[in-house]
Amino acid sequence: MLSVEHVTKKYGQFTALEDISLTFTPGVYGLLAPNGAGKTTLIKMLTTLLFPTRGQILWEGEDIQALGAEYRGLLGYLPQQFGYYPNYTPRHFLRYAAALQCIPRREADGRIDQLLETVGLRDIADKKMKKFSGGMLQRVGIAVAMLNDPQLLILDEPTAGLDPRERVRFRNLIHALSGERIVILSTHIVSDIETIAGQIIMFRDHRLYCCDSPAHICAQFQGQVFQLPAGTSLAPGQFLLSEGQGADGPVLRVLCEMPPVNGTPVTPGLEDAFLAIYREGQP
C-alpha cells in the first residue's frame, strides 16, 4: 500500500500542491486535471525525484525516501519525456535498461521476450527505433518500466501525441498490465482513463478535489446536464459544457440545476463532470 499523508509541495513561495492525502491499493488510478494542476509534481514525489515540503509518502508504512533503492526497485516509471537511443532496437534498448537495473542477462532475456510480446513489439523487436511512431516508442517505454515486474507502475501523460488507434491499444495494454499492481497514470484527456481507471484523482485549486470512481464522480451531476438545440441563448445559471452533434443536428450540452425549456436530460459522462468541475469561476 502506498500512502500520501498531508503532502504539500512548494516551489519557492508558490504552492503547487497543498495538504494532499491519498491511499493507493492495487488497481488503476487516473490523475485527471488540467495543465498546471500539479499532476507531474505529485508523480515526481511518488518517484522520489522531488521531496515534499511538508508531509510524507509511505510504502507499507515506511517513508519512501528512507527506503531509497529498495523502494525504487519495486517501482516502474515512464516519465513524460521518455529518453531513448534512436539507433537502438527495442530488444537492445531493453537489454541496456535491464543491465542498468542489474538484472542478470539470462533472466533479462526471458523477461524481454515476454514483454515485447505483451506490448505488441515482437515483430519489430530488432528494428532500429528511429522510424518508430509515437505509439511504438511509448510501448517500448512501458516495456522498460515493466522490466522489474513493478508493484507500482507510474506513467506520466503516457498518451500525449498518440493517434486514436494507438490510444485504444494503450488503454487495452494498461488494462492487461494492471493485475495485482498499483498503476497510476496522469492525463488531461478524459477518454484515456474513463474506461480503465477504477479511481480518478482530481485536484482543484492545488488541493485534492476527489479520489473516486468515474461513476460516482459523474453521479454528482445527475439531473443537471441537458441537451439544447444549438443557437439557444443560455439563461443565467446555465453553463455551457460543450457543443456537438446530436441525432437531429447540432446541440449544446448545458449544466444547470433547473431543467431548461426545450432541454432534454442526458446522462452525465466523465467529460461533462470534468468540464463542470473545472469551469471558470469555480473556487
Ligand X SMILES: Nc1ncnc2c1ncn2[C@@H]1O[C@H](COP(=O)(O)OP(=O)(O)OP(=O)(O)O)[C@@H](O)[C@H]1O
Residues that bind ligand X (CB under 6 A): 11, 14, 16, 33, 35-41, 188
Cα angle 197, 68, 143 (rounded to 5 degrees) comes to 45
CB of 144 to ligand X, least distance (A): 21
Pick between residue 89 and residue 187 the one whose CB is nearest to ligand X: 187
CB of 22 to ligand X, least distance (A): 15
Pick between residue 41 and residue 227 the one whose CB is nearest to ligand X: 41
CB of 86 to ligand X, least distance (A): 24
Q: Contact 120/139 with Cβ under 8 angstroms?
A: yes
Q: Contact 203/38 with Cβ under 8 angstroms?
A: yes
Q: What is the CA radius of gyration of the chain?
A: 21
CB of 161 to ligand X, least distance (A): 13
CB of 23 to ligand X, least distance (A): 21
Query: For residue 123, which phi and psi values (nearest 5 degrees)?
Result: -70, -20
What is residue 184's three-state secondary structure? strand
As given in the structure block, the three cell numbers for residue 9 are: 509541495
Q: How far apart are CA 139 and CA 171, in angstroms?
A: 11
DSSP annotation of 26 = S
CB of 41 to ligand X, least distance (A): 3
Pick between residue 14 and residue 110 the one whose CB is nearest to ligand X: 14
Pick between residue 81 and residue 245 the one whose CB is nearest to ligand X: 81
DSSP annotation of 280 = T
Residue type, 194: E
Pick between residue 45 and residue 143 the one whose CB is nearest to ligand X: 45
One-character DSSP codes across 197-210: -SEEEEEETTEEEE
CB of 43 to ligand X, least distance (A): 7
Pick between residue 35 and residue 245 the one whose CB is nearest to ligand X: 35
Q: How far apart are CA 14 and CA 38, in angstroms?
A: 12
Residue type, 67: L
As given in the structure block, the three cell numbers for residue 223 are: 439531473
Pick between residue 38 and residue 52 the one whose CB is nearest to ligand X: 38
Q: How many helices (H) and strands (E) would you count in the chain?
A: 10, 14
